Amino acid sequence: MRVNIDGEDEIAQIAHHLDSLLAFIETLLDRLTAAQQRLIEEAKMASLGNMVSGFAHELNTPLGVAITSQSHLKEQVEVLKKDLESGRLQKQTLTNLIAEAESALSLLENNLLRTASLIDDFKKVSVQQEYDEVQEFSLNALVSGVLDCYQHELKQPDYHIEVEIPEQLMLNSYPNVFVQVLTYSFNNCIQHAKQEGKLLNIVISALIVNNYIHLYIKDDGKGIDKELLPVIFEPFITTQRNQGGIGLGLSIIYNLVTQKLGGEVKIQSPAHGGACLHIILANTAFRLDAD
């Protein structure tokens, strides 16, 4: 069956819109590829070194898939235009192209979103960004607020959460930095600590020892391989690369705590399992309100 071209403005509009979309995608991919190349050059010059190089490498997969999808879509549009101009466009050809275009656009969307997510993570690793000003806040209330955002992910019977932080403990620091540290910590528990079919217990506690604040985020999950512990805070260390993990979460936590909060961060994982993220803050003003 052939499509009647006479008066078929709608098909011409489809071809025009696809052309416009391809031009936009091509420009976007060119910009992303150029950004990737700039990152590679930065790796040769800046102190970011291996981290920038590793990030550029991580971009290869989503960018490669996006470029391939864009190229395939462009070829299909050229076929459509030729058939349209020659009057040989068949309904089945148009139907097939629309199906392939939908598949290619879905791949493009997913991989461009993946690229955007990688870039966002890289910005957070660098810690070269503005945060909210220093404020006084309740650590207990802030932790509880972040946990409220995880009600769906950290729900029973899969998770049991305990917060052991004095309600009267007030900090004078950057609340948004603490939110990010907690967010990446909880994400790490969900992605790496949880064992299928087993309850995961998470305890968030805080102590004051010799004017130092000690914040602990402890779980009884899978634990961390002892071979990984010495390099666990380095960028791109992950055991879940095949599941989409890129290994930036703990590196972001480390940089936020050491560079923005002026503190120290450690992680322990005993042989029997579980892990404990231990954050020590020396330069954070605090007070304990009277009951």
Tokens 């192209």 locate to 97
Q: Cα–Cα distance between 172 and 136 in angstroms, integer?
A: 4
Same domain, 19 and 39: yes
Domain count, the chain: 2
Same domain, 87 and 147: no
Same domain, 149 and 116: no
- Domain final position from 94, 109, 126: 126
Helix (H, G, I), strand (E, B) or coil at 162: strand
Q: Is residue 95 part of a domain?
A: yes
Give the model's pLDDT for residue 239: 55
- Domain final position from 84, 101, 126: 126
Q: Is residue 172 part of a domain?
A: yes
Q: Cα–Cα distance between 113 and 107 in angstroms, integer?
A: 10
Give the model's pLDDT for residue 90: 77
Give the model's pLDDT for residue 1: 41
Cβ-proximal residues to 152 (8 Å cutoff; 6+ apart), any chain? none
Same domain, 141 and 283: yes
* Residue 288, beta-bridge partner list: 169
Give the model's pLDDT for residue 276: 94
Domain containing 188: what range? 135-288
Same domain, 249 and 105: no
Helix (H, G, I), strand (E, B) or coil at 176: helix
Same domain, 25 and 52: yes
Q: How far is CA 214 from CA 183, 195, 211, 275, in A?
A: 18, 27, 10, 16
Q: Cα–Cα distance between 288 and 291 in angstroms, integer?
A: 9
For residues 275 and 267, the answer to whether their CB atoms sit within 8 Å is yes
Q: Is residue 185 part of a domain?
A: yes
Comparing C-alpha atoms, which of 202, 210, 196 is closest to residue 182? 202
Q: Is residue 2 part of a domain?
A: no
For residues 213 and 181, the answer to whether their CB atoms sit within 8 Å is no
Q: Is residue 1 part of a domain?
A: no
Give the model's pLDDT for residue 165: 95
Same domain, 121 and 71: yes
Whether the model clears a pTM of 0.85, i.e. scores above it, the answer is no
Q: Is residue 3 part of a domain?
A: no
Same domain, 118 and 143: no
- Domain final position from 100, 126, 152: 126
Same domain, 167 and 264: yes
We report the CATH number of the domain holding residue 192 as: 3.30.565.10
Which helix (DSSP H) or strand (DSSP E) does residue 204 occupy?
strand 200-209
pLDDT string in tens for the chain (291-residue length): 444 444 456 666 766 777 777 777 777 777 777 776 666 555 444 434 444 545 565 666 677 777 777 787 788 778 778 877 787 777 787 788 778 878 877 877 777 777 776 666 655 544 445 556 888 899 999 999 888 888 778 887 899 999 999 988 999 898 888 988 998 898 888 887 888 888 999 999 999 988 899 999 999 998 888 887 787 777 765 655 444 444 577 888 888 898 889 899 999 998 888 999 999 998 666 667 655
Same domain, 41 and 83: yes
Same domain, 147 and 281: yes
Same domain, 117 and 143: no
For residues 2 and 88, the answer to whether their CB atoms sit within 8 Å is yes
> For the chain, how are helix, strand and coil distributed in percent, rounded to 5?
55, 20, 30
